[in-house]
């Protein structure tokens, strides 16, 4: 008569080995309910090897991005590992890219919810991660995720060197705008700008009030040292704040491919080309390890 495998037995084995729930149940069935033998079964399966590595530092890794074909949903993920050798391995970076697709399409609440989702027809994200740990021989972790979804407009994603990735949200009024080459080029360029120029906000109105207050306090002190009248000092401080905006706010930054044009002006130019009003709404940016 087969030994009945209870939920408590599975829970106990999971706590002993930190292995996936379904693998624990399979091991207990094979071991006919014997916990010690089940541990050996997990070790034989390679699961215990993966678990043993769970304490190792994960200071290397990659970031991945994915945007759905209609441009309405997108995601960024960061996955860490132990060495740069594995961090740049196509199998590892491919896993991150696939993971970003799962996040974009399934909308998990957090990393733990993501782990329970199906990665493909045969396994969950957690099982796929465990298998990759076993295959690559390093500890790995899903460090963070972010997702955006919009009804009107589109998202664009960009990945640079596996260490930088971003999502940029655009608004426009005509659905056909999404399919124009002018918009696609513009969206790609802006996403690339976010990666390269590290803006602190998409628009001036999105810069936190405390940041503006902090910057102005510095500029006013600098202006006061000039000894000029207060009215001139105020204009000097405001001028420096505008310079801060031009250097740090996406729409105000000079376009990296054409320094004579700001990103705002590029948006206006593209809007005229497509006969629509295109605006940059927001962005998310992942630099590995931040």
* Count of structural domains, the chain: 3
- Return the ∠ at Cα 254 (arms to 252 and 256), rounded to 5°: 135
Compute the Cα dihedral for 53, 19, 31, 33 and give only its sign: positive
Please tell me whether residues 79 and 110 are part of one structural domain: yes
User: Using CB atoms within 10 A of its CB, is residue 92 exposed (0-12), middle (13-18) or buried (19+)?
Assistant: buried
Residues 136, 213 within the same domain? no
* Residue 1 included in any domain: no
Task: Residue 91: give the domain boundaries.
Answer: 56-149
The CATH number for 242's domain is 1.10.286
In tens, the pLDDT along 36-58 reads 888 888 877 767 555 545 556 66
Average pLDDT over residues 152-172: 96
When pLDDT is cut at 50, 70 and 90, the band that residue 14 belongs to is confident
CATH number of 28's domain: 1.10.8.10
Is residue 127 domain-shared with residue 82, that is, in the same domain? yes
Mean pLDDT of 146-172: 96
For residue 259, is it within any domain?
Answer: no
Alpha-carbon distance of 56 to 175, in angstroms, equals 49
Q: Are residues 90 and 111 both part of a single domain?
A: yes
Helical segments of the chain, H only: 7-17, 21-30, 35-45, 47-52, 84-87, 90-106, 111-115, 125-136, 181-197, 209-224, 230-248, 263-274
Residue 44 lies in a domain: yes
Residue 286 lies in a domain: no
Q: Please give the mean pLDDT across all residues of the chain.
A: 91
Rounded (10°) angle between helices 125-136 and 21-30: 70
CA pseudo-torsion sign 187, 190, 196, 200: negative
Q: Give the model's pLDDT for residue 55.
A: 54
Q: Name the CA dihedral angle for 122, 74, 287, 136, rounded to a multiple of 10 degrees.
A: 10
How high is the pLDDT of residue 92?
96
pLDDT of residue 48: 58
Whole-number pLDDT of residue 66: 98
Domain-embedded: residue 266? no
- Indicate whether 144 and 87 sit together in one domain: yes
216 within a domain of the structure (yes/no): yes
Q: Residue 61: give its domain's CATH number.
A: 3.30.479.20
High-pLDDT (> 90) share of the chain, %? 67
| Residue 69: pLDDT over 60 | yes
Please report whether residue 230 resides in a domain: yes
In contact, 108 and 124? CB cutoff 8 Å: no
The answer as to whether 219 is a domain residue is yes
**Residue 261 near residue 254 (C-beta atoms within 8 A):** yes
């Amino acid at each position: 008569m087969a030994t009945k495998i209870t939920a408590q037995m599975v829970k106990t084995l999971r706590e002993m080995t930190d292995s996936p729930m379904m693998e624990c149940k399979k091991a207990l069935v094979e071991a006919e309910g014997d916990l010690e033998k089940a541990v050996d079964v997990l070790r034989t399966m390679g699961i215990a090897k993966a678990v043993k590595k769970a304490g190792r530092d994960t200071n290397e890794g990659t970031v991945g991005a994915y945007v759905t074909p209609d441009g309405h949903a997108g995601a960024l993920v960061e996955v860490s590992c132990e060495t740069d050798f594995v961090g740049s391995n196509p199998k590892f970076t491919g896993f991150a890219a696939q993971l970003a697709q799962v996040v974009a399409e399934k909308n998990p609440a957090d990393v733990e919810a993501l782990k329970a989702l199906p990665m493909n027809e045969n396994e969950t994200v957690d099982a796929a991660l465990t298998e990759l740990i076993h295959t690559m021989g390093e500890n790995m972790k899903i460090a963070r995720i972010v997702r955006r979804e919009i009804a009107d407009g589109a998202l664009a994603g960009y990945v640079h060197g596996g260490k930088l990735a971003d999502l940029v949200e655009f608004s426009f009024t005509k659905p056909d705008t999404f399919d124009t080459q002018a918009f696609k080029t513009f969206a790609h360029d802006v996403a690339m700008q976010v990666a390269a120029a590290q803006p602190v906000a998409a628009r001036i109105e999105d810069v936190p009030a405390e940041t503006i207050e902090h910057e102005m306090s510095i500029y006013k002190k600098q202006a006061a040292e000039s000894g000029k009248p207060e009215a001139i000092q105020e204009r000097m401080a405001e001028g420096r704040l505008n310079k801060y905006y031009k250097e740090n706010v996406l729409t105000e930054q000079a376009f990296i491919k054409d320094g004579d044009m700001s990103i705002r002006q590029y948006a206006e130019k593209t809007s005229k080309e497509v006969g629509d009003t295109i605006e940059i709404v927001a962005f998310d940016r992942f630099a590995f390890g931040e």
